[in-house]
Structure 1
């Protein structure tokens, strides 16, 4: 089974548990690091998640994963917060964090650059609109490789 298929299958299986806990499923990753496989489930809620949230979700989804058995090899399950530099993946993520500072990387250069930091102004059918030092820039969806909240100090 392909890595992305495993992550998608796990996300679908654990979504009801996340919803029941009034949390948001931010992302699911299935990656190999060194000689070990890791299944990472990132959760969030307004104000952030704490260790108790992560532990409660981990225990519930561990039972579901044991029954479903979507992963043939041994792996480590990690449930955590997405962190301060939370990824923005879904349209709802971009809408929720409208007005926040974001870092976006693109697949190909746009105006000579592949990395952009600016205030998120809008998410439209056309792309992601940023304010970068007072100038607006539209980044087409097909060019966005990754988007994350930026930490302001």
Structure 2
């Protein structure tokens, strides 16, 4: 399996050179074989459009043809994070405070690994979530204990991610 840290070291400078931010690099295995997913965003919009994804895909393909960092066969997917985006960086938990999210932990807390609720932001290096399981409890999860997190598609999230008018 490819080393994600090494792939990040190769890809991130290409993303930064375009003035964008790398959201995540992930290798998955599915029906179509292995897929290397590179997710990036323009900080001005929180998204990439199709032409931006295509340009980055071409650039990454050219670089990977030269350095060949992945031994096995794979498909390359370059995408924008989308509306119900993954939360991969500490700043994502602060930026999207007030929106609904799902968090999965690496290790269980009181027999649970999965939590859903409203993001409250960051407390130091930990994400805070108000649970919506009837308890309304506030949980704090160290960022490094989070296996995966993503926003939940809601009307409020759709409204918050609409392109802003230039008027």
TM-score normalised per structure 1: 0.82
1:17 equivalent in structure 2: 14
Within-5 A mapping of 1:43-122: 43-45=40-42, 46-110=45-109, 113-122=112-121
The SS at the match of 1:49 is: coil
- Using the alignment, how far apart are the partners of 1:112 and 1:151 within structure 2? 27
Contact 2:96/2:119, CA 8 A, preserved across alignment: yes
- Using the alignment, how far apart are the partners of 2:107 and 2:46 within structure 1? 35
- Using the alignment, how far apart are the partners of 2:46 and 2:148 within structure 1? 24
Q: How many residues are matched?
A: 150
Cα 1:118/1:9, change in 2 over 3 Å:
same
Deviation, 1:59, is 0.9
Contact 2:26/2:38, CA 8 A, preserved across alignment: yes
- Using the alignment, how far apart are the partners of 2:147 and 2:26 within structure 1? 16
Query: What is the RMSD of the two structures over their aligned residues, measured on CA atoms?
Result: 2.3
Is 2:152 the counterpart of 1:150? yes
- Using the alignment, how far apart are the partners of 1:50 and 1:126 within structure 2? 31
Unaligned runs of 5+ residues in structure 1 are: none
Deviation, 1:58, is 0.6
1:40 equivalent in structure 2: 37
Cα 1:36/1:98, change in 2 over 3 Å:
same
Deviation, 1:43, is 1.4
Comparing 128-137 and 74-83, the one that deviates more = 128-137
- Using the alignment, how far apart are the partners of 1:138 and 1:127 within structure 2? 6
